[in-house]
Amino acid sequence: MAITFHLYKNEEQLLIQFLTGQTWPYHGTATLTEENVRNQLKQGRYVSNEEQKTFWIQNEAGVYIGLIRVYDLADPTPLFDIRIGEKHRGHKYGLQTVIHLIEYVFTNYDVKIRIEGYTRADNLAMRKTFHNAGFVKEAVHRKSWPSENGELFDSIGYAILKEDWVDNKTTPVQWNDLPY
């Protein structure tokens, strides 16, 4: 169950086919159209540069199973977005990908102190992935994640500290330091 990564390099048709050929139930737009993806491409969403990197994820058979984009790389705290294709969810590819991303960021960018990620509260698979990759739950943002039908969901914020990754530990959040 080994996976490999390579930078997205303007493979527009492959990207459009991948993103429009399935649903993304925990993203703001669950069903992307070709027009949606082309607009994202025009806005520079998937380009790799100093500010962001986009990687294809391939399984051991060479099948494109996902995409991960890390952004805000000019900031000490980058964020990321991950998409694992429908047929490949539930096989721990997400966990492998997040672990790879952590290693990539912390070994290639000396000034990064942490990596953040957010997910909808009802995305239990991603919440488990964050936990198993060493991220700590740091925030609950109530009714902050809009869906395409207008429903609002809570979002959960997670982060991993570089020092925790280096020392293979987890520093918990002090939730009850003050009563307010």
pLDDT in tens, 24-75: 999 989 999 999 999 999 999 999 999 999 999 999 999 999 999 999 999 9
Following DSSP, what letter does each residue of the chain receive, concatenated? ---EEEE--S-HHHHHHHHHSS--TTSSSSS--HHHHHHHHHTTTT--SSSEEEEEEE-TT--EEEEEEEE-TTSSS-EEEEEE-GGGTTSSHHHHHHHHHHHHHHHH-TT--EEEEEEETT-HHHHHHHHHTT-EEEEEEEEEEE-TTS-EEEEEEEEEEHHHHHHT------TTSS--
Q: Is residue 108 part of a domain?
A: yes
The CATH number of the domain where 40 resides is what? 3.40.630.30
Structural domain boundaries enclosing 19: 4-167
Please report how many Cα atoms fall inside a 13 Å half-sphere around the Cα of residue 25, on the Cβ side.
Answer: 8
Q: Is residue 174 part of a domain?
A: no
Which amino acid would we find at residue 72? D
Sheet with strand 152-161: strands edge to edge: 4-7, 52-58, 64-71, 79-84, 114-120, 152-161, 136-146
Residue range 73-78: mean pLDDT, rounded: 96
Q: Is residue 112 part of a domain?
A: yes
Q: Is residue 114 part of a domain?
A: yes
Report the DSSP beta bridge partners of residue 159. Answer: 116, 136
Total count of domains within the chain: 1
Cα 34 → chain centroid: 22
Q: Is residue 180 part of a domain?
A: no
Q: Is residue 45 part of a domain?
A: yes
Residue range 150-159: mean pLDDT, rounded: 96
Query: Which pLDDT score is estimated for 73?
Result: 96
pLDDT digits (tens, 9 = 90+) for 86-116: 999 999 999 999 999 999 999 999 999 999 9
Q: Is residue 53 part of a domain?
A: yes
